Structure 1
Amino acid sequence: MLTKYKKILVIGILLRVVLMFSTFHPDLQGHSSVTYFFTYEKKLDIYQHLAALPVDHPLVKNLGVGDIFIYPPLSYFTLGIARTVLSPFADPNFTPWIWENLDKVETFPGFHFQIFLLKIPYLFVDVLAAVFLARLFDKESNQKKAFVFWLFNPLTLYSTFMLGQLDLLPTFFVILSIYFAKKKKYSLSLVALGIGGSYKMFPLLFIPVAAFLFSKSIRGRVKNLFIGFVPFVITILPFLGSLAFRQMVLFSPKSQKMLFMNWPVSGAEGIYPFVFILVLLYLLAFYGQNARLLLSYFLSILLLTFSVTHYHPQWFLWITPLLIVDLVKTRKRWVLVTILIGCWLVITLFFEPSLSYGLFYPVFPDLKNVVGLTEILSKYTEVFKLKSIIRSLFAAAAFYYAFDVIRSKVKLKTQ
């Protein structure tokens, strides 16, 4: 496949390389810091190490460690091993230097090459994601569409090669899970979800759906649940006794954002819309038993998550391959996709400039001090009300999308 689409691939890679060299987000400092501890200080328990750093350590003093790395251990080891492999090309002084010079990181000699090295491991996973996404289709024309959509969609470029976030890793394993499900290799599909959840926990939400759809018997479903969650449990088991790990990863505020929305039923109790609708989807899967709905359920769960959550812009990469698959299969929901991406773009622009045009400040230093859209519009309107309207529009489109995609599959089954 790579040979067949060689020109497309080369252009896609060149575009990524340019963005890897020319963009930088401060969160990359956190990733650089923890991989520094792995590669140069040989720390295996990053959570306990961060918690034990003295208050006068430059990382603690200037950057803080409370939410510098809130991901499961497999993320740490994967990024750490990648940095170790690339260490002959990296400058070991880069990370300690940025701890002391947060306001002028771009002045480090060879800065652009150093941030390139931090992002380059994602390039290989990205190409694999494009390949497996294309292989979800049988027709060559659809394979090419999926391949091109993945390589050139702005969400992939933004999250991975501009921000340098690791969301690509769990997203790849979701793609792999769908690929194995298509091949009816259900155990491998579940394992892929478990591994994906060991990088970021959102794929774990898919495991009950897959477990229910892949088997009709209670015993088979329990077995499927076990297969799906085992990879995650194995990777976190050595760290469960660590208070730092539990606070930074399992019970961090960011991992519970979907529970911020609450329908009060008393002064102290309420109903969480996220949990309420998620359980409804699980029950539909439990009683529906239609494996063809797997992707539709995955899509619906993520649409629900983004509808009720103050999500980070890079999270939208999670849903990108699912939207691509749906667009390639049928173009009838392109208006909904346009609304969702348009709302995502506006919401992203409302964040601080470092998450949008400020990413290019290594090339255009004046962008570091540019005024954000929120600050500009706040002079003329109530910005938070405007943002709430946009989120409401997003939620309406998302819920209709989820309803329509499940309804369409059910119709196909009954016809």
Structure 2
Amino acid sequence: MEKIKIKDLTLWIILAVFLRLAAMMIAVHGDSVSVNYSPSELAYKGILDIYRYKRDSVGMIGGWRSYYPPLTYFTVGFFQFISRPLNPGFYAWIHEIYPIGIRPWLVSNGVSFAFFKHLFFMKAPYLLFDTFCLASILGYIGDPRSKIRAFKLWSVNPVILYGVYMFGQADIIPALLTVLAVLAARRHKGPWALMLLSFATLFKTYPMFLILPLLITQSRSLRDYLKGTAAIVLPFFILLPFYFSSKFAVISSLFPKIYSEDSLSVDWIFPLKIIFMVLYAFLIGVCIRSKKRADTEIPALNLTMAVLMLLYVIFFVHVHYFIWVIPFLVIAVSTGVVSPRLYYVQIVCLFIFNLNSRNTSTALFMPLDPQFFYALPGLPDLMHNISIRWGAVMLAARMCFVVICVMMATDLLGVTAFIKRLPKWIGGNGR
């Protein structure tokens, strides 16, 4: 079998490294600060229970508001801790910048070597998880030519460059664990797959929606269900010390406001929840049906992508949320499961409706020139100046994105093929 030769990909490797380093250093968003602010208490003060600390600390900015789930806190805090000798002054800097925001701070203070050093160390750990994610993608794919296509798609992927290295969000970590879970499921190691999803949930909440479908499709007997359930529950014992210490504060880290009852005051949230529950129930039904028919078994890759696409139909999708599915899309496009054209259109639509303000467009580049990019209007304003109604363009892009998500989900679950076969089943000869 033909093997991948590193020398054939040298230029792509150089390009991938250059683009990532450039995105890390020329762009910054407030999310980078938010992700790193709380873990600095672990790295520099040894605070283990940030949830109780934030709840009880009147003087701490953000006060009662919770942080991400515990594994995000410990992972980010760990990397801050080991980088302390190379990154002095970080704790004081991030505690100075967090209360006023990154944009006003840059306008007042400008950039310096220390600023770029702090920026680098906030984002540098993502390079490790990014590399492991690529290795896992290549490990999933068997055909060498498909591996090369996947390598190229990942190397210059705009979602990774923007969401991970420009925005500075940590979604690449649970995305890696989710890829490993799908790899385990493919190898019929259901309990390991489910345990990995539970660990991923302790970084970001979204993998919890993948657990039940995977439990159903990976279990063949009562024993499998029991082993799978035990594997799901085991990682959540990490929460027990926090629960005894901080009660609701740590639980709230697993349930962002859009999932919680607090959000019912927003009129449009409740109907969306109902719609999602209906779609999710339909998906569970498809999973149960596929188990009864050996010829319609749904691969873990397809199932994972379908669940995430249904999530994207209901909730507003920031670019860094799309990191959750992008490894699987790269696999699917590289192996011919998903049309490349559909993939490219979906990515373009995603960016169009996300570039909706200064914060997500022009202001990202303030490290290059704080005064200039702070004063520069956002993309919507720039479009309005040339008589383009960007709001209408964004709405059209969002609708197109939703349609593509629905098309992909139904196709991946085999619903499209099922519908096509209905006339033959009903009419006998299809007429």
The TM-score bracket by the shorter chain reads 0.7 to 0.9
For residue 240 of structure 2, what is the aligned residue in structure 1? 237
Task: Give the alignment of 1:132-281 within 5 angstroms.
Answer: 132-231=136-235, 233-241=236-244, 242-243=246-247, 245-246=249-250, 248-256=252-260, 261=268, 272-281=274-283
- Displacement, 1:401? 1.5
SS at match of 2:414: helix
Matched, 1:372 2:342: no
On the 8 A contact 1:48/1:245 being kept in 2, the answer is yes
Letter in 1 for 2:221: S
> Following the alignment from structure 1 to structure 2, what is the Cα–Cα distance between the partners of residues 54 and 16?
38
**Structure 1 pair 244–271 and aligned structure 2 pair: CA distance change class (3 A):** closer
Letter in 2 for 1:283: G
Residue of structure 1 aligned with 2:72, choices 65, 70, 75 = 75
Residue of structure 2 aligned with 1:90, choices 82, 87, 93 = 87
For residue 286 of structure 1, what is the aligned residue in structure 2? 288
> Following the alignment from structure 1 to structure 2, what is the Cα–Cα distance between the partners of residues 15 and 218?
49
Task: Give the alignment of 1:34-49 within 5 angstroms.
Answer: 34-49=38-53
Letter in 2 for 1:280: F
**CA displacement, residues 112-160 of structure 1 (integer Å, 9 cap, x when unaligned):** 1111001111111110100110111111111122122112111111111
- Identify which range, 83-92 or 23-32, moves more after superposition: 23-32
For residue 104 of structure 1, what is the aligned residue in structure 2? 105
The structure with the largest alpha-carbon Rg is 2
On the 8 A contact 1:156/1:317 being kept in 2, the answer is yes
**Structure 1 pair 403–384 and aligned structure 2 pair: CA distance change class (3 A):** same
On the 8 A contact 1:22/1:112 being kept in 2, the answer is no
Question: TM-score scaled to structure 1, two decimals?
Answer: 0.86
For residue 427 of structure 2, what is the aligned residue in structure 1? none
**How many residues matched?**
398
Higher relative contact order (CA 8 A, sep 6+): 2
- Displacement, 1:52? 2.3
> Following the alignment from structure 1 to structure 2, what is the Cα–Cα distance between the partners of residues 215 and 251?
27
> Following the alignment from structure 1 to structure 2, what is the Cα–Cα distance between the partners of residues 224 and 410?
30
> Following the alignment from structure 1 to structure 2, what is the Cα–Cα distance between the partners of residues 228 and 136?
23
Gaps of 5+ in 2: 422-431
SS at match of 2:6: coil
**Structure 1 pair 149–110 and aligned structure 2 pair: CA distance change class (3 A):** same
Gaps of 5+ in 1: 265-269
- Displacement, 1:244? 5.4
> Following the alignment from structure 2 to structure 1, what is the Cα–Cα distance between the partners of residues 415 and 139?
23
On the 8 A contact 1:207/1:225 being kept in 2, the answer is no
On the 8 A contact 1:20/1:115 being kept in 2, the answer is yes
On the 8 A contact 1:190/1:227 being kept in 2, the answer is yes
How well do the aligned residues superpose, as a CA RMSD in angstroms? 2.9
> Following the alignment from structure 2 to structure 1, what is the Cα–Cα distance between the partners of residues 300 and 228?
14
- Identify which range, 249-258 or 353-362, moves more after superposition: 249-258
Question: TM-score scaled to structure 2, two decimals?
Answer: 0.83
On the 8 A contact 2:79/2:125 being kept in 1, the answer is yes
